[in-house]
Amino acid sequence: MNMPDLLKYEPAPAALAASAQGEAPSHIDLPRPDLRSGMPLMSALSFRCSTREFSGESLSPQVLGELLWAADGINRDVTGGHTAPSARAFNEIDIYVALPCGVYRYDAPEHRLVLKLAIDARNMTGYQDFVGAAPLDLVYVVRTSKLLDMPPKQRDVFSAVAAGAIAQNVSLYCASAGLGTVVRGWINHRLLADALSLNEDELPILAQTVGYLPSSQGAMNG
């Protein structure tokens, strides 16, 4: 069996965070998701694919709220359960949202964005040439301090599984809502951690770009 050709990317030039575009409020309250919206699950699965070309069209607050709720929002108010699974409910993955106006952390219990830094860090979330051109980049960050009660040999595996579940939730929402997305592991972990002013116990492990498709382009399966 021939090994499949690996996807090849031209590395983007070394970049610094840009100035924030527009105001960066300290908190952004997100609209509650419309649980009746979207297409059936099996249809969304049939449309799930990876996209590497995006338009610059901004996401509406409603779409952004539904996207993040689908990613890892609270779907059981009584127990505080999330839409994505986490071993022993540690919920060790934080979602950082890189927007033109700033970098925010998604606060799932309050369903809102909390400002981390008033910078445009989209172009620092990876090396691919399309990074920074789309309206939204998500960064999945492991809070390793939440995993101290887990055997050390299991921590990397289970945190990676949790991040993967969140990324798939995002991918399915995008398929349902007509958005493009691609999950990216080609990131400079230390550079990104420094750019986001993360603590020593916080490690970015995965990124995901989201945006509308260019009108003249179709999605690339991945």
Q: pLDDT tens, 204-220?
A: 999 999 999 987 454 44
Strand pairing of 81-82 and 74-76?
A: antiparallel
> Rounded distance, CA 106 to CA 112, Å?
6
**Burial tier of 221 (Cβ tally within 10 Å: 0-12, 13-18, 19+):** exposed
> Rounded distance, CA 3 to CA 80, Å?
44
Percent of the chain with pLDDT over 70: 90
Q: Which CATH number fits domain 29-212: 3.40.109.10, 3.40.50.80, 3.30.70.20, 3.40.640.10?
A: 3.40.109.10
> Rounded distance, CA 216 to CA 117, Å?
34
Q: pLDDT tens, 141-169?
A: 999 999 999 999 899 999 999 999 999 99
Q: What is the structure's pLDDT at 219?
A: 40
Q: What is the structure's pLDDT at 187?
A: 87
122's CB contacts (< 8 A; 6+ apart) are 98, 99, 100, 131, 132, 134, 136, 137
Cβ 203 vs Cβ 140: under 8 Å: no
Does 1 have pLDDT greater than 80?
no
Mean of the pLDDT values across residues 171-185?
96
Does 130 have pLDDT greater than 70?
yes
